[in-house]
Amino acid sequence: MNKIDLAFTPALELAKLIRVREVSPLELVEVYLERIERLNPQLGSYFTVTADLAVTDAIAKTELLTTTSELPPFFGVPISIKDLNVVAGVTCTYGNPALLNNIPNYDDGVVTRIKQAGFIILGKTATPELGSFPYTEPVGFTPARNPWNLEYTPGGSSGGAASSVAAGLSAIAQGSDGGGSIRGPAACCGLVGIKPARGRVTKAPVGDRLGGIAVNGPIARTVADAAAMLDVISGYFTGDPYWLPDPQPSFLASTQVKLENLNIAFSTNIFPFGEADANCQQGVIKTIQLLEQFGHQITEKSPDLSNLIEPFKIVWQAGVAAAGIPSEALQPLNRWLLAKSGSVAEYLQALAQMQIVSRQIIAFFDTVDVLVLPVYLHSPIPVGAWADLSPEETFAKIVHWVSPCPVANATGLPAIALPVGFDSNGLPLSVQLIGKPAAESTLISLAAQLEAANPWIQYRPAFATIS
């Protein structure tokens, strides 16, 4: 297998190749580090590359292969970590250049699980400042670009994570999603992204933050890779304020479960924002046609999301204030959001209102198994497209673009983004599936059915396949 093929091989297959000694962890790490050195200056996928740490870990794991057969599931497989998550001894900037000297001495809980699963960390991926935006162009850093077309964004806030996987700069990636930040980049870059149910994946060392709207999750090339990663990062972590029991069967095993006769709803209209553009509508309709062929019951309807918008915006804005970074150190849009942040009482009132509306939305799923929506309301924007707008204009455009996503964050429902083709600009086209509470297994089974009918793994960005 040549180096390009290795770089685009699914993570589970890489783990198997390591186990049968067809490739070593060190050989794999060297493949990815060479690609990062060559392609990252144009892509901006990584803020920090931990080459020395990765090589040291890979050497130790390669030596361990000769002495033990008891290996964790992703032993020796390279992964990237989003720069909103803490890795001991590695710079964590949160997308703010003033924090380039911020080197924590502990791991986030999800990073602990990733290390326990045997992954090798290649570095920290690019994110917009504080993870606030659905594009990844933080001041003071190289903007992250979409490997399918470098003129376009890979999305945000897990933009670097998604572009790293899509370009073959990591085998799989950790991301986080507080308003579409896994699903959007996965959609922009033609990947599978799972936004887990609330309580599925730990937020340690913190607990409940912003009402639990943000969760950690996987970004991967295949449904099976994403499911297997979700298996290893899931579960109770000491002191978690809420958690979910382990699934039966595992999420990976759910990829082999064939579901029949589900009640599936869909919509391409997000009230009050209106219809998705023609490309995004096409993705939903194409998916619904496949689901109908599988024998599922299809209805065009969706819950009313209109009363969710204002309280969610207030809760989201509070995240900027909670970061504790002085206004003068923030870029203009976050500075504007900070200035708009209300009192503690206003935040708590908005949180309560968001939870009340969420109960009403979750009731929609009493008679619906899965809701199919566009991921975003229109195709990816060019890099820098909104750079000259006022903060108020930019925020309005952001709210409109990502409007299909926050419903899963506010309610805590699981969701998955899945590639289904290409749009009229040659960029990846995706849909999202939203499920009942704690029902990731249903979404994974359904996504695996769709993936089998419309395989995506065969496609690679031309930019990333030049040796």
Task: Spot the catalytic one: 24, 61, 80, 82.
Answer: 82
Paired tokens of 410? 């506010």
For residue 330, what are the CA distances in angstroms to 62, 128, 138, 341? 43, 11, 10, 14
CA dist 284 and 303 (Å) reads 17
Task: Spot the catalytic one: 80, 132, 157, 267.
Answer: 157
CA 212: distance to chain centroid? 16
Residue 285 CB burial class (10 angstroms; 0-12, 13-18, ≥19):
middle
Residue 245 CB partners (closer than 8 Å, separation 6+): none
CA angle in degrees (0–180, nearest 5) for 195-201-203: 105
Task: Identify whether 163 is a catalytic site residue.
Answer: no
Residue 247 CB partners (closer than 8 Å, separation 6+): 234, 254, 440, 441
**Type of residue numbered 392:** E
* DSSP-derived secondary structure letter, 329: G
Ramachandran assignment for 131, one of left (phi > 0), alpha (psi -120 to 50 degrees), beta (any other): left
CA dist 95 and 392 (Å) reads 21
CA dist 131 and 129 (Å) reads 5
Helix (H) or strand (E) run with residue 451 in it: helix 440-453
Task: Identify whether 341 is a catalytic site residue.
Answer: no
* Residue 163 and residue 154 in contact, taking contact as beta carbons nearer than 8 Å: yes
**Three-state secondary-structure class, residue 367:** coil
Strand arrangement, sheet containing 78-82: 46-49, 120-125, 78-82, 173-177, 215-220, 192-195, 415-422, 428-435, 370-373, 263-266, 297-300
Task: Spot the catalytic one: 132, 164, 170, 181.
Answer: 181
CA 67: distance to chain centroid? 36
CA dist 19 and 42 (Å) reads 34
* Residue 161 and residue 175 in contact, taking contact as beta carbons nearer than 8 Å: yes
DSSP string, 17-84: HHHTTSS-HHHHHHHHHHHHHHHHHHH--EEEE-HHHHHHHHHHHHHHTTT-S---TTTT-EEEEETT
Between helix 51-64 and helix 25-43 the angle, nearest 10°, is 160
Task: Identify whether 306 is a catalytic site residue.
Answer: no
For residue 184, what are the CA distances in angstroms to 136, 158, 250, 252, 377? 12, 8, 25, 23, 11
* Residue 247 and residue 34 in contact, taking contact as beta carbons nearer than 8 Å: no
Residues annotated as catalytic are 82, 157, 181
